[in-house]
């Protein structure tokens, strides 16, 4: 099956700076794709290229098999929800939502009906006659969403759509975005730097750094078996432990040896361990460490440890909230074998 939207060998530079480097991406129909990365990773540039607001230096963008690389925004089957919503301040909410239909030459009565229906989908049916400045941030967000969805784009592009909202509203809108996406069935491509948002929303998460795609796949896979060091530390937290593969299918590290298969002996690697895969232990080969920091997080305690064998490695563990450790205390821990990810250096 060919992807609804496909990006191939995409490169882009601003002057001398290479902001996108050989990016390849596929978006399936009806999927929710999240582009995740720190600022400067190129994710917004990629979205602008998908929307037609930027011409890439080289590479190909196809939508439904049609080459759209050079098409202006108006002529490609995408619609964008801007970070600042970009609603038309002088028009009513209804006219805002109907604008795209008006540009298509659709008559007033049909326009009004479709705009009303779409506002109902985003839960703002009563706002039809209001002006954008009478609405709250979250409501404006929904209007922007309705305005983009009503033209029935093949792909909806969302540029940090929740960035301007406060945390509580953000989590709430996040759930609504997902349910709206399921309801309308349009493919969403959503840019964010918030990894929790990415995991909550995505069917397919794309982790970007320095203009490259570091990793992409279902969020469970990207979180559980990250492909690169960057992914392991940006998408959730990980402790990285340097080591190398020894002869007998093992990785030797300052904290002991761990099983490894399929890697040539001598290969330098790093182990990535999620905080929830570090647990208290009483076995003979437990790792002895000293607690250096304890942060209470409500449902758990985030404990930082300095192993006796390699105190420079700060191991982060997620321990039960009722555990009673204090900085300076000795502690014995082990890594859950299934949670150990081996990354080539």
Partner 1 sequence: MVRAVAVVYAGAIYAFIFLPVLVLVLFSFQGTLFPIPPFNGPSLRWYEAVLNDPRLTSALGNSFVVAVTTSGLATLLGFLAAWGLARFELPGGVLLRGLITLPLTVSYLIIGMGLLVFFNALGVPKSLIAAGVGHVVINLPLCFAIVYSQMGEHQANIERAARDLGAAEWQVLALVTAPMLWPALFASFFLSMTFSWDEFVISFLLTRFDTTLPVEIWNLLRAGLNPKTNAVGSMVFGISIVLAIVFELTAFRRRPQ
Residues contributing to the site for partner 1 (CB under 8 A):
51-53, 72-74, 78-80, 82, 84, 86-91, 99-100, 103-104, 131-133, 147-148, 151
C-beta of residue 305 within 8 angstroms of C-beta of residue 325: no
Give the integer Cα–Cα distance in Å for 90 and 67: 36
Secondary structure (H, E, C), 142-192:
HHHHHHHHCCCCCEEEEECCCCCCCHHHHHHHHHHHHHHHHHHCCEEEEEE
For partner 1, give the closer residue by CB, 116 or 131. 131
For partner 1, give the closer residue by CB, 134 or 220. 134
Q: How far is the CB of 133 from partner 1 (least distance, A)?
A: 4
Q: How far is the CB of 249 from partner 1 (least distance, A)?
A: 54
Q: 318: helix, coil or strand? A: strand
Q: How far is the CB of 91 from partner 1 (least distance, A)?
A: 8
Q: How far is the CB of 105 from partner 1 (least distance, A)?
A: 9
Give the integer Cα–Cα distance in Å for 232 and 273: 9
Ramachandran bin of 249, using left for φ above 0, alpha for ψ from -120 to 50, beta for the remaining angles: left
Q: How far is the CB of 78 from partner 1 (least distance, A)?
A: 8
For partner 1, give the closer residue by CB, 102 or 344. 102
Q: How far is the CB of 51 from partner 1 (least distance, A)?
A: 7
Q: 210: helix, coil or strand? A: coil
Give the integer Cα–Cα distance in Å for 204 and 309: 39
Cβ neighbours for 108, distance < 8 A, ≥ 6 positions apart: none
C-beta of residue 67 within 8 angstroms of C-beta of residue 52: no
Q: Which residues pair with 99 in a beta bridge?
A: none
For partner 1, give the closer residue by CB, 133 or 168. 133
For partner 1, give the closer residue by CB, 99 or 234. 99
For partner 1, give the closer residue by CB, 101 or 251. 101
């Amino acid at each position: 099956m060919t992807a609804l939207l496909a990006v191939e060998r995409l490169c882009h530079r601003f002057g001398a700076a290479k902001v996108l480097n050989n990016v390849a991406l596929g978006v399936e129909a009806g999927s929710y794709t999240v582009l995740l990365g720190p600022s400067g990773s190129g994710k917004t540039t990629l979205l602008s290229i998908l929307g037609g607001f930027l011409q890439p230096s080289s590479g190909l963008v196809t939508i439904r098999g049609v080459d759209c690389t050079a098409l202006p925004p108006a002529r490609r089957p995408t619609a964008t929800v801007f970070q600042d919503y970009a609603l038309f301040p002088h028009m009513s909410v209804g006219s805002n939502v109907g604008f795209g239909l008006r540009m298509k030459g659709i008559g007033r009565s049909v326009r009004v009906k479709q705009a009303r229906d779409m506002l109902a989908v985003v839960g703002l049916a009563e706002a039809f006659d209001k002006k954008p400045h009478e609405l709250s941030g979250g409501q404006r967000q929904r209007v922007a969403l309705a305005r983009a969805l009503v033209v029935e784009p093949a792909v909806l592009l969302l540029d940090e759509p929740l960035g301007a909202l406060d945390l509580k509203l953000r989590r709430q809108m996040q759930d609504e975005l997902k349910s709206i996406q399921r309801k309308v069935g349009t493919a969403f491509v959503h840019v964010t730097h918030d990894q929790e948002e990415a995991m909550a929303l995505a069917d397919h998460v794309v982790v970007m750094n320095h203009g490259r795609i570091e990793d992409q796949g279902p969020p469970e896979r990207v979180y559980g078996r990250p492909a690169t060091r960057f992914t392991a530390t940006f998408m959730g937290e990980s402790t990285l432990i340097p080591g190398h593969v020894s002869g007998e299918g093992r990785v030797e590290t300052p904290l002991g040896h761990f099983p490894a298969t399929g890697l040539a002996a001598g290969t330098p690697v790093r182990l990535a361990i999620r905080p929830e895969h570090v647990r208290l232990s009483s076995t003979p080969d437990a790792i002895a460490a000293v607690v250096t920091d304890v942060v209470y997080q409500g449902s758990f305690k985030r404990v930082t440890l300095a192993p006796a064998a390699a105190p420079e490695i700060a191991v982060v563990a997620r321990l039960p909230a009722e555990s009673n450790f204090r900085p300076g205390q000795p502690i014995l821990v082990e890594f859950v074998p299934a949670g150990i990810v081996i990354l080539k250096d």
